[in-house]
């Protein structure tokens, strides 16, 4: 990865040099006055709030519901570029699922010493109850959200794998709907690949996970409830797929099967798309104080009489301390080189790497291995001396709980902010669906750090979102 501090600009190859994929859009944008764009952005905010597209911020003193800021300037990816990205994402999802099957069965990769056995077998997300349990199609992570960043060398890198309950796809779909509503003329002049069929692909993926012999499976979405930060998404996806949105109290185990309470009596459930963590799924098997899960669910699951997506025990593969080994998984299981590279990562459980990180905290990003949502991070260049020293004490207390990475020069994309149009840093979360085969819609959720100079794109930390356009091969821009 390059050391230059200069950022890759998604729209401009240099001063006044517009990249081919953005040429038609740049001409359109140049002809629009700023007040028209501002008006459209205000209209988008009003529509999102009316529909209820919000998320909860835990511990927020201003209120539990917040609107995710939406930027009306899309992120555009040419078809040739997306083809490489999609190939790399499919390769990665396949290897991760093979890894999960292996560590709960023969453990070939551990015996070969490719991945240290102690890092897996003592991991808090490794579920002993899943040993020997074989799942349909050997798929554990049916829905993966894989975060990508583009560094200053112009290459895409995988920042992290979200394999448990990845969120954000509802915003991808609503962003596209909003852009088509606000700027229909843009979709006449650009051949933008569609994403609207994602709910159909998701439902097909979930149905493919059904127990053997079930021809017409009943699928439900299991939510922790309306106070969860991603509740809008849970309800949205259930509605889009035409399946029931349920809470734990709506389900019960009887006669060896999971049943759904309905006004017509109990109905057998075959596939549970869960949006709650392992620990809360079954109070008889995991946390006994959980009121979110279903007593007896794990025993039915282990018998193969209900499918849970994503599978129990999947979290061990998206632990940030396991992430550095994914390229080795690809080589081990597929005998291929990774199409997409990892970000260089130091594991603080290794004394020599920990020593290097402690000497360079002011230059690095340090993350908790079990963290998510941008919480618990240290961004060294943006931190005060006091913050760095406080974080140093946390590391010294438990080095194995942390990893570190270089401060990436995340690419920028023009973004409409209060002062007008200015570059802001972005990432990309495509959603990979693994069922009978591996599929994904072109694009994903582009997140943008709205604060000037900020590299933190998470919505919980003040980030916003953009529509992501993948241009189809028949687009004039894609052919340039």
State both tokens at 2.
Answer: 């390059």
C-alpha to C-alpha distance for 2 and 294, rounded to whole angstroms = 50
In this structure, the number of other CB atoms found within 10 A of the CB of residue 190 comes to: 20
State both tokens at 7.
Answer: 């950022």
What is the number of residues in the chain?
480
- b/e 26-48 (16+ beta carbons within 10 angstroms → b): beebeeeeeeebeebbeebeebb
Give 49's contacts (C-beta < 8 A, 6+ positions apart). 67
pLDDT given for residue 480 in this prediction: 37
C-alpha to C-alpha distance for 67 and 139, rounded to whole angstroms = 34
Inter-residue contact 140 to 161 (CB < 8 Å): no
pLDDT given for residue 68 in this prediction: 79
C-alpha to C-alpha distance for 109 and 328, rounded to whole angstroms = 10
C-alpha to C-alpha distance for 249 and 237, rounded to whole angstroms = 20
Mean of pLDDT over the chain: 91
State both tokens at 154.
Answer: 């112009």
Opening angle at CA 455, ends 13 and 458, nearest 5 = 120
R_g of the chain, CA atoms, integer Å: 23
C-alpha to C-alpha distance for 378 and 391, rounded to whole angstroms = 7
C-alpha to C-alpha distance for 414 and 397, rounded to whole angstroms = 42
C-alpha to C-alpha distance for 403 and 419, rounded to whole angstroms = 36
DSSP for 212-229? TT-SS--EEEE---TTST
State both tokens at 455.
Answer: 């590299």
pLDDT given for residue 100 in this prediction: 98
C-alpha to C-alpha distance for 253 and 213, rounded to whole angstroms = 20
From first CA to last CA, the distance across the chain in angstroms is: 27
C-alpha to C-alpha distance for 462 and 201, rounded to whole angstroms = 31
pLDDT given for residue 478 in this prediction: 38
CA–CA distances in Å: residue 238 to residues 173, 249, 478: 14, 17, 35
- For the chain, residues with pLDDT lower than 70 are 1-5, 54-66, 371-375, 459-462, 474-480
pLDDT given for residue 239 in this prediction: 97
In this structure, the number of other CB atoms found within 10 A of the CB of residue 480 comes to: 12
- b/e 322-357 (16+ beta carbons within 10 angstroms → b): bbbbbbbbbebbeeeebbbebbebbbbbeeebbeeb
Residue with tokens 């072109």: 442
C-alpha to C-alpha distance for 117 and 119, rounded to whole angstroms = 5
pLDDT in tens, 145-187: 999 999 989 999 999 999 999 999 999 999 999 999 999 999 9
Residue with tokens 């590299």: 455
């Amino acid at each position: 990865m390059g050391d230059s501090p200069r950022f890759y600009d998604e729209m401009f190859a240099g001063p006044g040099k517009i990249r081919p994929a953005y040429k038609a859009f740049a001409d359109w944008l140049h002809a629009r006055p700023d007040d028209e764009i501002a008006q459209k952005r205000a209209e988008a905010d009003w529509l999102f709030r009316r529909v209820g597209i919000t998320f909860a911020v835990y511990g927020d003193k201003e209120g539990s519901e917040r609107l995710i800021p939406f930027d009306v300037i899309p992120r555009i990816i040419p078809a040739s570029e997306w083809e490489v990205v999609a190939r790399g994402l499919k390769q990665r999802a396949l290897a991760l699922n093979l890894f999960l099957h292996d560590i709960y069965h023969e453990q070939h990769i551990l015996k070969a010493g490719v991945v240290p056995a102690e890092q897996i077998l003592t991991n808090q997300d490794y579920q002993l109850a899943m040993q020997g349990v074989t799942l349909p199609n050997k798929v554990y992570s049916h829905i993966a959200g894989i975060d990508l960043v583009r560094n200053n060398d112009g290459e895409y890198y995988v920042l992290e794998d979200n394999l448990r309950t990845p969120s954000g796809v509802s915003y991808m779909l609503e962003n596209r709907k909003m852009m088509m509503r606000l700027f229909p003329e843009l979709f006449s002049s650009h051949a933008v690949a569609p994403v609207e069929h994602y709910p159909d692909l998701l439902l097909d993926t979930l149905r493919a996970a059904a127990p053997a012999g079930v021809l017409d499976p009943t699928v439900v979405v299991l939510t922790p409830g309306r106070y969860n930060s991603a509740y809008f998404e849970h309800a949205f996806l259930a509605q889009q797929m035409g399946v029931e949105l349920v809470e734990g109290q709506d389900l019960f185990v009887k006669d060896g099967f999971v049943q759904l309470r309905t006004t017509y009596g109990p109905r057998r459930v075959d596939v549970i798309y869960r949006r709650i963590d392992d620990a809360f799924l079954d109070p008889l098997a995991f946390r006994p104080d959980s009121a979110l899960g279903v007593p007896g669910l794990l025993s039915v699951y282990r018998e193969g009489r209900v499918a849970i997506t994503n599978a129990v025990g999947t979290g061990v593969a998206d632990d940030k301390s396991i992430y550095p080994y994914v390229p080795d998984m690809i080589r081990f299981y597929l005998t291929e080189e990774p199409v997409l590279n990892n970000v260089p990562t130091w594991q603080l459980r290794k004394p020599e790497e920990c020593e290097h990180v402690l000497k360079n905290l002011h230059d690095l990003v340090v993350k908790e291995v079990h963290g998510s949502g941008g919480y618990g991070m240290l961004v060294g260049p943006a931190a005060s001396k006091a913050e760095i020293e406080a974080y140093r004490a946390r590391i010294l207390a438990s080095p194995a709980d942390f990893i570190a990475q270089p401060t990436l020069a995340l690419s920028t994309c023009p973004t409409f902010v209060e002062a007008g149009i200015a570059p802001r840093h972005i990432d990309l979360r495509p959603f990979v669906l693994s069922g009978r085969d591996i599929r994904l819609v072109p694009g994903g959720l582009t997140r943008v750090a709205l604060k000037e100079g900020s590299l933190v794109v998470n919505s919980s930390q003040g980030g916003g979102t953009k529509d992501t356009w993948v241009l189809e091969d028949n687009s004039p821009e894609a052919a340039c």
